[in-house]
């Protein structure tokens, strides 16, 4: 009984995110832009990131077309990674991947509403829907990190 009520609550939160996704839209200027798709379901996401000079995610937006799981998951992802440095965002993304694979996650609270997507583990066909936004995030951050390292080594001689 209690369990089904909990399931209903989760379903409601997931529905809220998919029908009114957070940070949905397109920015005029972004540091990084990534497009990714999930051919098994037909989900497409365009993700934009604005990173400041300390590599903190200042702003984030996503658009595209996806099923309710992919949209809800992307919306939940934007909520938890905004304001986070690249390293922390990558760690959260890793934790989320573990969660939807049915593994134990130590800091479940850090995933915010995305923690409610743990049940996706029971539906293997939907796992790629749930991880799409996060994979796009990872790709964007890893690309940004690579260019930052390049710039840093380039500027080494200018440091005091
Ligand atoms: Zn999907």
Classify 34 as helix, strand or coil.
strand
Q: How many angstroms does the Cα of residue 42 sit away from the middle of ligand 1? A: 6
For the residues 138-154, what does the mean pLDDT come to? 82
Q: What is the mean pLDDT of residues 140-159?
A: 73
Which of 44-58, 101-115, 135-149 has the weakest average pLDDT?
A: 135-149
156 pLDDT band, cuts 50/70/90, is low
Closest of 67, 55, 56 to residue 21, by C-alpha: 67
* Contact by Cβ (8 Å): 62, 36: no
Distance 123 CA to ligand 1 centre (A): 12
Q: How far is the CA of 142 from the centre of ligand 1 (A)?
A: 24
Spacing, Cα 68 to ligand 1 middle (Å): 7
User: What is this structure's pTM?
Assistant: 0.90
Residues 6+ apart with CB under 8 A from 85: 54, 55, 56, 57
pLDDT score recorded for residue 107: 85
**Ligand 1 centroid, distance to 90 Cα (angstroms):** 22
């Amino acid at each position: 009984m209690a369990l089904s009520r909990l399931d209903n609550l989760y379903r409601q939160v997931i529905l809220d995110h998919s029908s009114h996704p957070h940070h949905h839209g397109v920015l005029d200027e972004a540091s990084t832009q990534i497009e990714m798709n999930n051919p098994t379901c037909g989900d497409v996401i365009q993700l934009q990131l604005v990173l400041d000079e300390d590599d903190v995610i200042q702003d984030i937006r996503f658009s595209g077309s996806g099923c309710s799981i992919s949209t809800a998951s992307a919306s939940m992802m934007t909520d938890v990674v905004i304001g986070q440095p690249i390293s922390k965002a990558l760690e959260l993304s890793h934790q989320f991947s573990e969660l939807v694979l049915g593994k134990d996650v130590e800091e479940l609270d850090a995933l915010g509403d995305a923690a409610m997507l743990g049940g996706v583990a029971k539906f293997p066909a939907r796992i790629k829907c749930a991880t799409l936004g996060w994979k796009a995030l990872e790709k964007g951050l890893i690309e940004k990190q690579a260019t930052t390292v390049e710039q840093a080594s380039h500027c080494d001689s200018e440091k005091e």
